[in-house]
A and B are shown apart, each in its own frame.
Chain A
Amino acid sequence: KAGVTQTPRYLIKTRGQQVTLSCSPISGHRSVSWYQQTPGQGLQFLFEYFSETQRNKGNFPGRFSGRQFSNSRSEMNVSTLELGDSALYLCASSRGGTGYGYTFGSGTRLTVV
């Protein structure tokens, strides 16, 4: 079965711009989580969506937002990009309960210049 698909794989943006990243979960999975990975801060949780509702949110500024569509695909948006937003953004798909694991996509590597 198809895995978790993240697009695009690579992105270069300029400071001040905004960006939208996409994540298509495994078929039948209703939960999508987003993580930011940087060399300095490691892996940090951004937010989690289940059936179009945000259930959890990490400690990130309001410039980071997300949404989930009825087909479970999710997007995250970062507005007013800063150099420090350069990171690998990982999306994880799950059935949604606490007894289930997470399958990750290959990530989107965002570079802000």
Chain B
Amino acid sequence: AQKITQTQPGMFVQEKEAVTLDCTYDTSDPSYGLFWYKQPSSGEMIFLIYQGSYDQQNATEGRYSLNFQKARKSANLVISASQLGDSAMYFCAMREGRDSNYQLIWGAGTKLIIKP
């Protein structure tokens, strides 16, 4: 079974609009962390935002916020006021908190294109 599911292979959004990228996860571990990364065409993975499973509040980083719904196992990324430079692949990833487990499990990604 997929541990990280991103159901939107691609999205077109008008510049300055807000956009929500979906991510659902599957884990039985009570301790885990969820990450969102942006990958432009250059290939580098750029960290955007992190949410820990025990965090009480939704994470925010500038124009990025994470809509964390623990009971639904959902961790959607919200980008407010999108910009042309936001066009990229976006990946949701999870690290489960089991001892000695430091790997990230990745979703398939969403290709976001911002239209002028």
- Show the binding face of B for A, using Cβ within 8 Å: 31, 33, 35, 37, 42-47, 50, 52, 91, 93, 95, 97, 100-109
Query: Chain A: residues with CB nearer than 8 A to chain B?
Result: 31, 33, 35, 42-45, 48, 50, 55-56, 58, 88, 90, 92, 94, 96, 98-99, 101-107, 109
Q: A42-B109, A98-B97 are in contact. Are A56 and B44 (CB under 8 A)?
A: no
Total inter-chain residue pairs, C-beta < 8 Å: 60
| Given A42-B108, A42-B109, residue A104 in contact with residue B103 (CB < 8 A) | no
Which listed residue, A42, A45, A50, touches B103 by the CB 8 Å rule?
A: A45
Inter-chain contact A31/B102, CB cutoff 8 Å:
yes
- Chain A residues, CB < 8 A from B43: 88, 90, 106-107, 109
User: Could you show 21 A-B contacts with beta carbons less than 8 Å apart?
Assistant: A33-B103, A35-B106, A42-B108, A42-B109, A45-B104, A45-B105, A56-B101, A58-B103, A88-B43, A90-B43, A96-B102, A98-B33, A101-B47, A101-B50, A102-B47, A103-B47, A104-B45, A104-B46, A104-B47, A106-B43, A107-B43
